[in-house]
Amino acid sequence: MLDFKNKTIIITGASRGIGKVLAVKLARRGANLVLAARDREALETTASECIKVGAKAIVVFTDVTSKEGCEKLIADSVAAFGTIACLINNAGISMWARFEEIQDLSMFEKLMQVNYLGAVYCTYYALPYLKESRGLLVAVSSLTGKTGVPTRSGYAASKHALQGFFDSLRIELKDTGVDVLVVSPGFVATDIRDRIIGSKGKPVRATLNKERHSMSPELCADLIIEAMSQRRRELVMTFKAKLGLWLKLLAPNLVDKIAARAVSSQNN
């Protein structure tokens, strides 16, 4: 079991959404927090909420697409707290466009840089310290990292890459004391979809139904923290999602139809 009190935890994408909620909940458990994102003002807000409940928290302005930025994030974390117990790779962006409608293919590079390579860079620089502390690596992936989803081709590809990387790393790290947890939420009602990348490669505000079909970020964060405390290897959220993974082996065409229907319901 992982005790969070006085443990140093780095969270990327901590300025809003799941990352922010995770930060505040871990602060209540006494963690030392390193909060990373590109929005400095929003990060400061998250940090103040963490400090308000009695935690220690620092802000490190970080663009995870920069190797140098990720290296600095880890160096600043060690300088502030001396060690690292957990790295939560949570930074991410999404998309909403059919492949044939995409006008700017550079969106695929951006999705891969943020959702996949950012986690690779942060993990690379953090790993020596995690081995010292026998710590925990967390990757916030998605159910789209396990099955294709229409209008999310680039996003799904980046999450499949993330899943494959951390599954491979878990095997490499066997017997080092470092555990790897891959988290696969479904639809979560965060504002990531208010800044989704559209067909022209620019952020657009998607008109999606967040309430009726989505999990709350609070529940999502609670499930992640529970899995972290148990040092589990994987967390697939919701019974339907777990059932879907079995169905994919037995009836893949049916899973395709279910995925298409789930995405359609987000627009209704």
Burial class (CB in 10 A: 0-12, 13-18, 19+), 245: middle
Q: Give CA–CA dist 104/201, Å, rounded.
A: 5
Question: For the CA atoms of 24, 182, 76, 217, what is the dihedral angle to 10 degrees?
Answer: -20
The length of the chain is 268
Contact 151, 165 (CB under 8 A): no
Q: Is 124 a catalytic residue?
A: no
Tokens 């995409």 correspond to what residue?
102
Q: What are phi and psi of 208, to 5 degrees?
A: -120, 150
Please pick, among 116, 125, 129, 155, the residue that the annotation labels catalytic.
155
The gap from C-alpha 251 to its chain's centroid, in whole angstroms, comes to 29
User: 215 pairs with which residues across the strands?
Assistant: 188
Q: Give CA–CA dist 153/146, Å, rounded.
A: 12
The residues carrying an active-site annotation are 155
